[in-house]
Structure 1
Amino acid sequence: MTFTLSYVARSEVGLVRKNNQDSAYVSPTMLMVADGMGGAAAGDLASAVAVSELRDSDGDFRESDMVEVAAGAIGRANARIRDLVAADPSLDGMGTTVCGLLFDGERLAIANIGDSRAYRLRDGHFERITRDHSWVQTLVDDGRITEAEALVHPHRSLILKVLNGQSSHQPDLEMSDIKVGDRYLICSDGLCGMVTDAAIEQVVGGTDPDEVVTELIRIAYAEGGLDNITIILADVVEDGEPGPVMVLGAATEVDIESAGEKSEDTRPIPVEGEELADSQARELTEQERYQPTTRGRTAAWVKVVLGIVVPLLVIGGGLFGWYSFTQTKYYVGEDNDLVAVFRGVPDTVLGFPLSTVLEVHNTHVSDLPLFYQEQVRDAIVAPSLESAQATAEELRSKAQQCIAQREERARATSSPSPSNPAKNPSESPKATPGASPSATPSSTPSAQPPGEC
């Protein structure tokens, strides 16, 4: 039996970001979300490249291996990102997630790399069908933190696998069965990084898909709307009309070809003498191929050296790549009781810090409400430098409010009460039942609301 996908898709900038770095592509046979990040604000370019390659691979998959199609498209997108970075080093660090489905009318192929997600609602059971390639996901898998804690973890933005031009980062690809009535939700972390799966489940089963998407965006905004929000909602139906082909988000605005024009062949043109040297080198190589060697006597120590050096080079290269990736991150933390903006992540490796101070603001952490003091000391991760600076400015405003509240309380405490001038000023008023405006609060600091000073 052949089925049809009925779908709704939307992509929004959110409440904080200045531009949309998400891209999406939907058609009767493909539903894909790409969430761009990093690299000279070129996340929009990376996600647009991914969607462009996926769109070019779309078509009638009934006679195709959909896993191979997805792997090929993602591989070409990865290679194109690598070429763009090589042509323009200022793009170094850009990358994108890719998450979505390929559909041939009877089967689904699921593709995922990064921390965008795909969910399925089947017979009332809601479940995530992709796994985040993130640091906090490993902590959740190990039982060290809960899903709710992962949403506010200081390292929640650290992604372990992403489409960024590195061949070592391979997507998860698998086939899946389908049933009439299945509902699929594919989204960027502007939704799933802000809202728990339980909260999404309460909304996703609504009868009107448009209203479901609107409500999902609303609850993402209610949690701050800190990131771009892209959502695809699709139902498996019988005998339905094929939906429209749509491109959403950054892919509708970014000119990939113009970015590619930055690529220039910078290889030097060989002169006559250099051509002769190349010819001699090739001739020498051919001679060396047939000369007797001492390979038998040296093979043993060569194997030992390679067995030590190669693993060290691999480990060193991996650590360098990971460190380079951490330097595309930002957070707001404490520097000698002052609010500061840092580049990197708030960790150390063998005593070596993975962050550096970019800006120190004239806001004392001790002037903040206790809730915000704890947040700053734990580090508030920001998706970009601009976002970190905005967070620091918001903290400055919170500190000023606290200072004003404390000064007002101090003035009120030092002034005599004019409430009953007929009584002897030396007499203390008797306690009366009920709460008193001047009563000492009984709540502990940990029980204070976030804005309490």
Structure 2
Amino acid sequence: MNVAIRYAAGSDIGCSRENNEDSGFAGARLIAVADGMGGYAGGEVASSTVIGSLRSLDAEPPVEDLVQVLGRAVAEANEKLRIVREERPDLSRMGTTLTAMLWDGTRVALAHIGDSRGYLLRDNELFQITQDHTMDELLKAEAEQSGQTPDPAETSRLSHVLYRVLDGRDDREPDLRLREARLGDRYLLCSDGLSNVVDPQTTYEVLAAEPDPARAVQRLIGLARDGGGPDNITAVVADVVEADHLAAGPPAAPLTVGAAANS
């Protein structure tokens, strides 16, 4: 069966920040969210550089292995960050998370690094399909492997400390895997400005109740703002639908949001 995605994206500065360091993209073949960091201007440059580099993937379906194509594109984006850092010493501390999905019919490649998140709503259940690259998650995994219980105080203290991001340095490898997309699936990619404020149950309720992707995005962003909006908030929602359902109307334009929309 020929499938396609119906998508929406939105980004908001939140209630406490002076600038938006998030970037997002949604198109017929690529969806992505990047949450930049690194002080004034650094986060904006990092996230917009990565999203700007990846956008070319939305143009044509890849003829090679989907995961390899996406992995190579992430490596190229990281190399562009390296060049920017060398040209701009004032941005030496910049970096960005990235969660991206590249589509080819029912196949979809997922790339993830950092603590932005990917969720899947399938068969009326919500699943987190990414693993946060934070020190508390690393400690929890190590404790589980050794049969021990991690110190709650220590894991709480390290809950926002990232051990893997894209920052132009070597060996910044994302998690990569291939997934199967099914009709009726709904994907959410978001920055931690959403996932840290809106709990999974509320996120599920919005995604399950709101059929329109754009309204779902705006409702989730609104909930994050209502919860205090301590950080920038970016969300992309993509629904897997029959391609014939989209063919009747004009093709949807790709959407670029956040810092990348201004670069």
Residue pairs, 1:284-323, within 5 angstroms: none
Find the residue that maps to 2:163 and give its secondary structure. Answer: coil
The TM-score, its normalising length taken from structure 2, stands at 0.88
Displacement after TM superposition at 1:62 (Å): 5.0
Question: Is the contact between residue 195 and residue 220 of structure 1 (CA under 8 Å) also seen in structure 2?
Answer: yes
Measured in 1, the distance between the counterparts of 2:21 and 2:194 equals: 14
Question: Is the contact between residue 36 and residue 47 of structure 1 (CA under 8 Å) also seen in structure 2?
Answer: yes
Q: Which residue identity does 1:240 align to in structure 2?
A: H
Q: Which residue of 2 aligns with 1:85?
A: 85
Question: Is the contact between residue 30 and residue 57 of structure 2 (CA under 8 Å) also seen in structure 1?
Answer: no
Q: Which residue of 1 aligns with 2:29?
A: 29
Find the residue that maps to 1:86 and give its secondary structure. Answer: helix
Q: Which residue of 2 aligns with 1:303?
A: none
Measured in 1, the distance between the counterparts of 2:203 and 2:74 equals: 28
Tell me, yes or no, if structure 1 residue 66 matches structure 2 residue 71: no
* CA deviation string 1:43-92 (max 9, x = no partner): 10000110111012333225232212211211111111111111221111
Displacement after TM superposition at 1:40 (Å): 4.4
Higher RCO (CA-CA < 8 Å; seq separation 6+):
2
Q: 1:3 to 1:194 in 2, by over 3 A?
A: same
Displacement after TM superposition at 1:187 (Å): 0.5
Question: Is the contact between residue 108 and residue 175 of structure 1 (CA under 8 Å) also seen in structure 2?
Answer: yes
Measured in 2, the distance between the counterparts of 1:2 and 1:244 equals: 20
Q: 1:219 to 1:144 in 2, by over 3 A?
A: farther
Q: 1:62 to 1:45 in 2, by over 3 A?
A: closer
Residue in structure 2 matching 1:208, options 190, 204, 212: 212
Residue pairs, 1:273-284, within 5 angstroms: none
Tell me, yes or no, if structure 1 residue 228 matches structure 2 residue 232: yes
Q: Which residue identity does 2:6 align to in structure 1?
A: S
Find the residue that maps to 1:102 and give its secondary structure. Answer: strand
Measured in 1, the distance between the counterparts of 2:214 and 2:171 equals: 39
* CA deviation string 1:126-179 (max 9, x = no partner): 101111111122345446478xx99x9343321110000111220011100111
Q: 1:73 to 1:92 in 2, by over 3 A?
A: same
* CA deviation string 1:412-447 (max 9, x = no partner): xxxxxxxxxxxxxxxxxxxxxxxxxxxxxxxxxxxx
Q: Which residue of 1 aligns with 2:166?
A: 163
Q: How many residues align?
A: 251
Give structure 2 stretches of 5+ with no counterpart. Answer: none
Q: Which residue of 1 aligns with 2:180?
A: 177
Residue in structure 1 matching 2:245, options 220, 223, 240: 240
Displacement after TM superposition at 1:252 (Å): 1.8
Measured in 2, the distance between the counterparts of 1:110 and 1:145 equals: 31
Question: Is the contact between residue 31 and residue 102 of structure 1 (CA under 8 Å) also seen in structure 2?
Answer: yes
Measured in 1, the distance between the counterparts of 2:15 and 2:40 equals: 21
Q: Which residue identity does 2:4 align to in structure 1?
A: T
Measured in 2, the distance between the counterparts of 1:62 and 1:74 equals: 15
Displacement after TM superposition at 1:247 (Å): 1.2
For the aligned residue pairs, the C-alpha RMSD in angstroms reads 2.1
Q: Which residue identity does 2:203 align to in structure 1?
A: I
Percent of aligned pairs sharing the same letter = 39
Question: Is the contact between residue 37 and residue 95 of structure 2 (CA under 8 Å) also seen in structure 1?
Answer: yes
Q: 1:86 to 1:177 in 2, by over 3 A?
A: same
Residue pairs, 1:382-393, within 5 angstroms: none
Q: Which residue identity does 2:48 align to in structure 1?
A: A
Find the residue that maps to 2:234 and give its secondary structure. Answer: strand
- Larger strand percent: 2
Give structure 1 stretches of 5+ with no counterpart. Answer: 255-453
Q: Which residue of 2 aligns with 1:2?
A: 2
Q: Which residue of 1 aligns with 2:195?
A: 192
Q: Which residue of 2 aligns with 1:45?
A: 45
Q: Which residue of 2 aligns with 1:252?
A: 261
Q: Which residue of 2 aligns with 1:17?
A: 17
Measured in 2, the distance between the counterparts of 1:248 and 1:77 equals: 18
Displacement after TM superposition at 1:39 (Å): 4.3
The TM-score, its normalising length taken from structure 1, stands at 0.53
Find the residue that maps to 2:61 and give its secondary structure. Answer: coil
Q: Which residue of 2 aligns with 1:384?
A: none
Question: Is the contact between residue 62 and residue 69 of structure 2 (CA under 8 Å) also seen in structure 1?
Answer: no
Displacement after TM superposition at 1:21 (Å): 0.7
Q: Which residue identity does 1:209 align to in structure 2?
A: P
Measured in 2, the distance between the counterparts of 1:232 and 1:205 equals: 15
* CA deviation string 1:187-237 (max 9, x = no partner): 011101223323322222123333322221122123220111110111101
Measured in 1, the distance between the counterparts of 2:216 and 2:19 equals: 24
49-58 or 120-129: which moved more?
Answer: 49-58
Q: 1:197 to 1:145 in 2, by over 3 A?
A: farther
Residue pairs, 1:394-433, within 5 angstroms: none
